[in-house]
Amino acid sequence: MSSTDAVNLVYSMSDVTLALLLGSLAIFGWLAYRSKNIKKFQFQISIFIIVWVFGEIIQNKRIAGLIPSPEIGLSIHASSMVFLTVMLWLRLYYSKRKGRTLIEDTEG
């Protein structure tokens, strides 16, 4: 595999990742809109995916040339993972404190 093939593979995989993230954002965004409650998991995961997509767009090699510090994309990725971790830990903490399970009721 030549170096140009490897670069093209990285570009195409970055595009695939971005497309999959946008698809998941559409699904969870639609679910969050239907639930109309910021305490629901669908809304919280939508915020996580928005931050992740933003980091992915900045980290994209073709866009990184326009940004003075392309490493900021990695920082945004890290902050989205911190947000996910805090969100899940808080959901676990509050569910245990109230004696409930983490599974939400899908009705109503």
CA atoms within 13 A on the CB side of 40: 18
Nearest to 61 by CA among 6, 14, 93, 101: 14
- Residue 53 DSSP class: H
Q: What is the pLDDT of residues 87-100, one digit of tens each?
A: 889 888 888 888 87
Q: What are phi and psi of 97, to 5 degrees?
A: -65, -35
Flag whether the pTM goes above 0.85.
no
Selected residue with higher pLDDT from 101 and 46: 46
Is residue 64 scored above 80 in pLDDT?
A: no
Contact 35, 42 (CB under 8 A): yes
Q: What is the pLDDT of residues 3-56, one digit of tens each?
A: 665 556 556 777 787 788 888 888 888 887 887 877 777 788 888 888 888 887
